[in-house]
Amino acid sequence: MICFSVYKNEPTDRYKSIYGQNTFCYNWGMYPDPLLKTIPSEQNLHSMAEIGFRFGDKGTHTSRTIMFAELSLVLEACPSEAKKKVYAEAILAHNCLGKRTVSTRKWSGQRLRELYGLNPAIPLFRMLRRHWELEERGRPLLALLTATIDARGRIKLRKLFQSAGIPCKPNEESVKAGEFLARLADLAERAGGDPPLPPRPDTSALYDLRALTGNEQLLAILKQYDTLVQQMKEWEALATLAAERKLAWETLSTLLKHAASLPEAGELNQQARAVQDERRLLEPTDPVPDIRKTAVAIRRKAMTTAHSAFCQMYKE
């Protein structure tokens, strides 16, 4: 575990007594803060909430976003020593976020407060505000570290993974996220292919997600939750349909190959080539059965005619 000491020149022994001897402690050099005189244990959620951590079912991550762009605009519009009221006025009165309606301004302000506090009385926000000015390149990471995934968000992740057939227990979300994304990539691979199948779905967004790790990856999955659920359903249905219709297409190809010498086969071959060239194998209306039915019929007719001719010659 990594623990950040918030006092200037503060000994780290008491952190290790709380969190274990393997805890790595770093000192940010902040001056003593009366709200942080007692570092809470992991069981003391009330004390952690006083510091600025948020728990329960109304965390911003149930909306699948850390609102980094909006946070940047607010902090740019307000001086570093601004009070809570100044942040509220910047969002509502001065519309620093550029929202079109008052309701969206209120909603955005509420979400930002839920995630970051926007109140210098909250120690976690004071830390964010102080370090925001140190290095611009590190701001996204700072916002990510300040944000947390609440219990409801983790439950949503576990349900999402389980819906893809991946068992996931509490605190296994980071491990199982990679398996979930690999499962989606496999579905996309089987949801299309070479003609007459349609092209495979675009998986560039999945590639971007797989390039992330840890909380950053989980937050990105939550942000795209609805899209991923929809893609999983669509790709799974297409993959199942493709497996079924590929067999039917192979049967049709064999029939047409054996019927190549028949006069009627020319039109059927044209219809089959159209299906292949236009990649229509997975259309809602299956194009294969009608062609196959006609191919079977002309093959049966040719065989019947040949059999009758043979019988006639035999009698003669």
What's the mean pLDDT in 273-300? 88
Q: Is residue 286 part of a domain?
A: yes
Q: Is residue 21 part of a domain?
A: no
**Dihedral angle over CA of 178, 182, 185, 189, nearest 10:** 170
- Looking at the DSSP bridge assignments, the partners of residue 150 are none
Kindly tell me the burial class for residue 26, based on how many C-beta atoms sit within 10 Å of its own C-beta (0-12, 13-18, 19 or more): exposed
Do 225 and 213 reside in the same domain of the chain? yes
DSSP structure string for 204-225 = HHHHHHHT--HHHHHHHHHHTH
Prior bond of 289 cis (ω within 30°):
no
Do 79 and 137 reside in the same domain of the chain? yes
- Nearest-angstrom CA–CA distance, 154 and 92: 31
Q: Is residue 118 part of a domain?
A: yes
Q: Is residue 44 part of a domain?
A: no
Do 75 and 140 reside in the same domain of the chain? yes
Do 110 and 95 reside in the same domain of the chain? yes
pLDDT tens, position by position, 93-114: 999 999 989 999 998 888 888 7
Q: What is the pTM of this model?
A: 0.53
- Looking at the DSSP bridge assignments, the partners of residue 25 are 3
- Domain tally, the chain: 3
Model confidence at 179: pLDDT above 80:
yes
What Rg value do the Cα atoms of the chain yield, rounded? 32
Tell me which residue range forms the domain holding 105.
58-148
Select from 204, 239, 274 the last residue of a domain.
239
Report residue 225's pLDDT band, with 50, 70 and 90 as the boundaries. Answer: very high
Helix (H) or strand (E) holding 80: none
Q: Is residue 125 part of a domain?
A: yes
Percentage of the chain modeled with pLDDT above 70: 77
Q: Is residue 107 part of a domain?
A: yes
Q: Is residue 274 part of a domain?
A: yes
Select from 182, 216, 239 the last residue of a domain.
239
Going by C-alpha positions, the residue among 134, 140, 144 that lies closest to residue 80 is 134
- Nearest-angstrom CA–CA distance, 225 and 196: 31
Do 233 and 167 reside in the same domain of the chain? yes
pLDDT tens, position by position, 16-63: 444 445 444 444 443 444 434 444 454 554 555 555 555 444 444 444
Question: Given the DSSP bridges, would you call strands 24-27 and 2-5 parallel, antiparallel or unpaired?
Answer: parallel
Model confidence at 238: pLDDT above 80:
yes
Going by C-alpha positions, the residue among 45, 53, 47 that lies closest to residue 149 is 53
Do 129 and 203 reside in the same domain of the chain? no
> Contact 201/191 with Cβ under 8 angstroms?
yes
Q: What ranges in the chain are assigned the alpha helix state H?
A: 13-19, 45-51, 68-77, 84-92, 102-116, 123-132, 139-146, 151-163, 173-190, 204-210, 214-223, 225-258, 265-277, 288-315
Model confidence at 189: pLDDT above 90:
yes
pLDDT tens, position by position, 8-20: 444 445 444 444 4
